[in-house]
Structure 1
C-alpha cells in the first residue's frame, strides 16, 4: 500500500499505520481508499481480535493533505460531494467495525484526524499531544467528521471548538472524552498492550456484540420495545456456544477456550 502499512501480529491484532511522516501523515483520497480496504479486511476476518490505528513519525495526523485540498478547490459541487462522501464512508466503516479499535495518538492531530480518533472505541494519547478542529481557519467546515466528534465530546463543546478552531491540550481532550487515557509517549505502547490484554481475555463474539449493543442502544428511548429487544439479546448470549463455554469454564475454574486460541 502507498500511504499506510498493515499487518496482523502474532496475537491476531491488526495494526494499521498512517505512513506519510514527511507531511505529518496528512491524508488524501488514496489514504482514504486504502483505509477502507483494510477496514473491510479486518471486519471480515474472524481471527482478528482488535485493531490498533497508529501513525509513524512525530505527528499523528495533520488532517487533509494540502495538495488534496487544492485539487478539491477546483472540483464541482457534485465532485466535492462525492469526494466528501468517501471520507464519510471510511469513517463509518471505522466507527461500526465489528472489532475493538484503539487509536494511538502522539504529537498533533488536526482537522479530519480528530474524526478518525473520535471513531475509535478507545484513544490513548501522549501528554504532549495537541488537538485542533482547524477547518474554520480556512473558511471550511468539519461537516463529515461532525457526527463522530459530537458523539465523542458532546454538542456544546463541539460547537465551541468548531467555531473557535482553538488548539487544546491532551489533558483537555481527555476531560472532553476525545481521549480515553493520557500517558507519557514512552508509555503509549505498554498502555495499549494492557488494554489489548484485557480485551483478549474476553469472549471474541461477546466483545464484538457488546460493541454492537452499545451502538444500538445509543440515544434509543427506553421503551417496552427496547426492553424486549435487549432481553432477547441477553438470552441469546446466555444460550450461545461462547456463553455456555464462559460459564462452564468459570464454574470449573479453568481458562475458557478462547484464551488457549490466542
Structure 2
C-alpha cells in the first residue's frame, strides 16, 4: 500500500507531507489515519521543535476524496457519524499539538484542506492559490472544521464563506486571516525557513504554554472541543443522509448541477 502521508525529520523540524498528488491530496480514511499517526510521532519525539504541514504536487489538499464521498453517501447515519468523528479527532489533534505548527500552503485548499490550515499556528501560502468552503453546494456544511475556521477568520467572514461556498484567492485568504503571509512560489521555502528561524529562538516549554494560553483565552480547550466535535459529527452525519444531502452528493458525483442550482439559474 502506497503511503498517503510522508513524515521526515530534519534537525529539529518534522515535515509532514500529504502525498496523494494524483487526487490533489484529497482526504480518505487512509490519509486521515496516517496523518493522525504522523502528528502523534512528531508530538512524542523530544527532538522535534516544530512541525511543517504541506502537500505534494500542485495542491495543498482538495478536501474529501471522491471515492470516500461515494462510500459515505451510501453509508448509514451511524457510520457517517463514526467517520466524521475520525476527521474531527484529526483536526483536534493538530489544533492542540503542543509544538508550533506551520502550514506550508503550496497550492489550492478546499473543504477539509482549509480546516488543516486553520488548525496550524502559522500559515504561509503561495500567491494565486485558490480556497473554498464549498460544502453547501452539496447540501452539506463544514461542520467538523467550523470551530477552527471561525477561530482563524472570525464569525463574520465565516458566515459569508459558509453560505456562499465561493472560491477565493490567496490575497483574500490573507486579508481575512486564513493565511498570515502570501508569497511567490519560488520564495515559499525561504519564507518557511524565516518562520522556523524565529521559532527556534523560543523555549519549547514556553511555546507550548503560549500556544495553550492563546487557545484558552479565545475560549478553546481540548476537553470542550471534544464535546463540540461530537455534536458537529452528528450534524454532518444527519445532513449526509438527508434528502437534500443525498441529492447534492449524488449530483456532485454525477457531475451535474443539483436541482436548487438549476432553479437559481433559471
Separation of aligned partners in 1, 2:216 and 2:132: 30
Whether 1:21 and 2:21 are equivalent positions in the alignment is yes
* Larger relative contact order (CA 8 Å, sep ≥ 6): 2
In structure 1, the residue corresponding to 2:60 is in which secondary structure?
Answer: coil
Partner of 1:63: 63
Displacement of 1:189 in angstroms is: 0.5
Note the alpha carbon deviations across 1:49-100, whole angstroms, 9 max, x for none.
0000011101111100000000001111110000000000000000000000
Separation of aligned partners in 1, 2:107 and 2:192: 17
Separation of aligned partners in 1, 2:217 and 2:103: 23
Partner of 1:212: 212
Separation of aligned partners in 2, 1:134 and 1:33: 24
Partner of 2:135: 135
Separation of aligned partners in 2, 1:179 and 1:46: 28
| Structure 2: unaligned runs, 5 residues or longer | 221-266
Partner of 1:117: 117
Separation of aligned partners in 2, 1:2 and 1:107: 21
Note the alpha carbon deviations across 1:141-193, whole angstroms, 9 max, x for none.
11001111111111111111011011111111101100010010111110010
In structure 1, the residue corresponding to 2:62 is in which secondary structure?
Answer: coil
Separation of aligned partners in 2, 1:218 and 1:158: 16
Displacement of 1:107 in angstroms is: 2.0
Partner of 1:3: 4
Displacement of 1:219 in angstroms is: 3.7
Separation of aligned partners in 1, 2:177 and 2:185: 19
Separation of aligned partners in 1, 2:116 and 2:86: 14
Displacement of 1:32 in angstroms is: 0.5
In structure 2, the residue corresponding to 1:57 is in which secondary structure?
Answer: coil
Separation of aligned partners in 1, 2:154 and 2:35: 26
Partner of 2:243: none
In structure 2, the residue corresponding to 1:16 is in which secondary structure?
Answer: strand
TM-score by length of 2: 0.80
Note the alpha carbon deviations across 1:13-54, whole angstroms, 9 max, x for none.
000000011111111111011111111111122221000001
Separation of aligned partners in 1, 2:87 and 2:184: 31
In structure 2, the residue corresponding to 1:60 is in which secondary structure?
Answer: strand
Displacement of 1:201 in angstroms is: 1.3
Partner of 1:108: 108
Separation of aligned partners in 1, 2:219 and 2:41: 29
Separation of aligned partners in 2, 1:74 and 1:37: 27
| Structure 1: unaligned runs, 5 residues or longer | 221-262
Moved over 3 A (4+): none
Structure of higher CA gyration radius? 1
Partner of 2:82: 82
**39-48 vs 11-20, which deviates more?**
39-48
Give the aligned CA root-mean-square deviation in angstroms: 1.1
TM-score by length of 1: 0.82
Separation of aligned partners in 1, 2:5 and 2:45: 19
Whether 1:165 and 2:156 are equivalent positions in the alignment is no
Separation of aligned partners in 2, 1:218 and 1:23: 35
Separation of aligned partners in 2, 1:162 and 1:210: 30
